[in-house]
Every structure is written in C-alpha cells, then in structure tokens.
Homo-oligomer: A and B are copies of this chain.
Amino acid sequence: MDKDLQTRILNAVDARFDAQTQFLAELTAHPSTRGNEQSAQDFMASELGERGYKVDRWEIDVDDIRHMPGFSPVIGNYEEAVNVVGAHESASKKGRSLILNGHIDVVPEGPHDMWDTPPYDPRVDDGWMYGRGAGDMKAGLASNLFALDAIRECGFAPAADVYFQSVVEEECTGNGALACLQRGYRADAALIPEPFAETLVTAQVGVLWFQVHLQGLPTHVAYAGSGANAIEAAVPLIAALHEMEARWNTDQAKHPQFGHVHHPLNLNIGKIEGGDWTSSVPAWCVFDVRMGLFPGQDIDAAKAEIETVLTDAAQKNDFLRNNMPRVIYNGFEAEGYALAEDDSDTAKQAISALELAHGAVTGGQLDKVSITATTDARFFGLYADTPALVYGPKAEAIHGFNERVDLESVRRVTQATALFIAQWCQLESL
C-alpha cells in the first residue's frame, strides 16, 4: 500500500478517536444482556443509517435456522432477538468482499456491589474504559465502524461489498451469526474483533452447554433421613464431570492446535439453584454446565459421553439411582474451529493481509493463538467456506467485575482494521 495513504488512514483513525471513545461509552451504556439488546441495536442501526449504509434489521425466526448445521437449541422464545447489518455496496467491486462481524449481547453483570463503579455507566481511568461489554465486544463493534469511517475520511470507500454485522446471541448459542448466513450474507473473508489482545486466533474450542436436573422426594427436615437432598446429590455428579474433563485434557487426547495449552477444555459449573425452604429437604436442584470441545470433536458423541458419565455416577448413589438426573441442552452446541487448518489461498491471503496491517501499526509480528473459548468465527469458517479472522483489542475481566478494555489497544486495532480493509477490499474513490 502507498505509504502516504497508509499514513493518512492511520491519522484519520487518530482524528476520530475521541468520537470513537465517546461512541464506545454510549454503546456500553446499553445493558444489552440476552433479551435486552433492542436499544443497543437501535443505536447501531441509527449510526449505520446516518453513515449511508443500507440497513437490514430483522428478528430471528428459529424456524428459519433450526435445520442448519451449527444451530444451538434455545429454551423459550426468540421474540425481539434482532440482528442488524449495514451494507456497503461497492461501485467498482474490484476487490474482495468482507464481513465485519461483532456481537452486541453481553453476559450478565452479576451483583452490582462487586463493581467499583456501575457496570453500565462506563468510565475511563488511566487509559482503560470500564463497563460490562466494553471489551467483550463493544470495542470491537466500534473498531469495525470507525475503521470504515477513517477510510471514508480519506475520500475512499472499500472497492468491494462490506457487510457490517451487529449480531445477538454470541454468548449463548451463536444463532445470531447463523441467522446472517441464513439471510444470505456471504463474503470472501470475515473479521471479528473479539478481545484477544491484538493476536490472531487460529484455533478455538467448541462449547457445549447443558443443564442437569435433579429431583427427589422432599420432606420436613425433621425426617431428613427419609427424604434425600437434591442439592447435595449434585456433588458426586459434579465430581464425575470433572473426572471426564481430566480425561479429555490428557496430552494424548489433545488436538494438535492445543498441544501447548495447559488445560484447553474447561468444565464450568456456571449456575446452580435448588430448594424452596430452609427447613424442607430440597426436592429439586438444577445446575448449568459449560464444557469445551476440540475442533473436530463430534457434538453427539460428546453428549453421549456426558450422559453416560452422569448415569454411571448416579448408579453409584442411593438417592440418584432412584432419581436419575435429566440432562437438558439449552445453549451452545458449538463445534471447534481452526483457521490454521484452512489451507485455501483465500485464508492465506487474508492472514497475510492482516499481518501486514498489524505490522504497519505496531511494528511487530502478529502472534497466533489457540483460544479456550468459542467465537462466531466458526459459522463463517465451518459452514460458509469463509476464513474468519478473530483479531481484537486487549481487554481484562471479560465476564467478570470491572471489565475493562485498553483504549490504546482499541486505537491500534482500529488502525490495523482500516489498513486491512484497504488491502483486502482495495479502495475506490467516494
């Protein structure tokens, strides 16, 4: 790329970075937990519309996507699960098309008293912006949008179609990204600025969510011996699941892309609830589990093994033997995905374009990482033959308290993204 143009693009990001920070704060102020994304999506649609993108805003219909590979089951209805896509249609179409994807949903913020300042009242302190979702991944959405802005500031537009996607459901199913595929959005590559500290994600694990429901015979605690405690019955099942987790993480079992990762597949007991009254022996308990999977690991086989593990553990327990646990799948059935295994020229070219852009901004090499989480990249990579680059800013305490994102890192990622767009899509005059 022309050095002068490169400098102009970098400067254009700098020039609008205060506005970008302000935009990020405004977006983070929307408490867009699952089911509550509408106001944030309204904001995104309005910002895209003001910039002249063709805005497509639609409610996901589960019936449209449930037959598709990569679909994850949902409990309850999907009313008001709204995706927003802003399309740039190139006049010349001489370059390669691109999807800029990000998710608008954030995970619950937890007890507010564990935050130093309110989670949806973002603040900047010492170069970090604090707030639920600031890092995961509203900074990424801001980066995608302001990277495009910087190109326009320089008097250009991408010389290929670009689809800016703001999707829901990344944090529990990925059905938002899947619905974009169903609606026909395709491009030569996808970029997803998830907060992995300016590294390129070349492998990600799969994720399975399930609930274990326990149910038993309740009684007054005065007769505790004749009832059995559904809460305490969870303990041996959790232990058995951790034994399975250990087996899946042995060196022999590891996927090559995760050979160097100490413990790639994490099992998490994320939620528990049980019982109605302190002096009643609890008759029910439900706990929610997240388990990682390797790329290529079969979802149905994983489910079967989990069910066997639970059944075997239950058989060894007097209470559980007569009250077998019930497993309900209510979220992620996400396969793993490894960009590193994509041998296509397109993938190689996309990676190399990003390496160039990253190097131009940082002066350093682009590190490659295998991550122990999932992202929406799998939909593009596995089900649409589209290499998906996950590359975003540095953030801390995502899913935790005092989540924060490094603003200088956001600036660099925005610059690298703008250069990547210019390289990948090429440019045409406005």
Which residue numbers of A lie inside 8 Å of B, CB to CB? 107-111, 114, 136, 171-172, 207, 209, 215, 217-225, 227, 229, 231-232, 235, 238, 262-263, 266, 268-285, 287-290, 331-332, 371-373, 397-401
Number of copies of this kind of chain in the complex: 2
Q: Is the CB of A279 within 8 A of B107?
A: yes
Q: Is the CB of A289 within 8 A of B278?
A: yes
Q: List 20 A-B contacts (CB under 8 A).
A: A108-B277, A109-B276, A110-B218, A111-B284, A114-B283, A136-B220, A207-B279, A220-B373, A221-B270, A222-B371, A225-B266, A229-B268, A229-B269, A235-B238, A270-B275, A270-B278, A270-B281, A272-B273, A272-B275, A273-B273
State whether A266 and B401 are in contact (beta carbons under 8 Å apart), knowing that A114-B215, A238-B232 are contacts in the complex: no
Nearest B residue to A273, CB-CB: B273
Among candidates B109, B221, B272, B275, residue contacting A231 with C-beta atoms closer than 8 Å: B272
Q: With a CB–CB cut-off of 8 A, which chain B residues contact A114?
A: 215, 283-284
CA distance A143 to B274 in the complex (A): 35
Q: Is the CB of B224 within 8 A of A268?
A: yes
Q: With a CB–CB cut-off of 8 A, which chain B residues contact A277?
A: 107-108, 171, 270-271, 399
Min Cβ gap A235→B in Å is 6
Q: With a CB–CB cut-off of 8 A, which chain B residues contact A288?
A: 275, 278
Q: Is the CB of A225 within 8 A of B263?
A: yes
CA distance A109 to B221 in the complex (A): 15
CA distance A268 to B223 in the complex (A): 10
The 3 closest A-B CB pairs, nearest first, are: A222-B373, A270-B278, A271-B275
Among candidates B266, B269, B280, residue contacting A107 with C-beta atoms closer than 8 Å: B280
Q: With a CB–CB cut-off of 8 A, which chain B residues contact A397?
A: 219
Q: With a CB–CB cut-off of 8 A, which chain B residues contact A285?
A: 272
Q: Is the CB of B399 within 8 A of A220?
A: yes
Q: With a CB–CB cut-off of 8 A, which chain B residues contact A290?
A: 221, 278-279
Nearest B residue to A331, CB-CB: B278
Min Cβ gap A390→B in Å is 13
Q: With a CB–CB cut-off of 8 A, which chain B residues contact A218?
A: 110, 399-401
CA distance A218 to B209 in the complex (A): 18
Nearest B residue to A207, CB-CB: B279
CA distance A401 to B215 in the complex (A): 12
CA distance A288 to B277 in the complex (A): 8
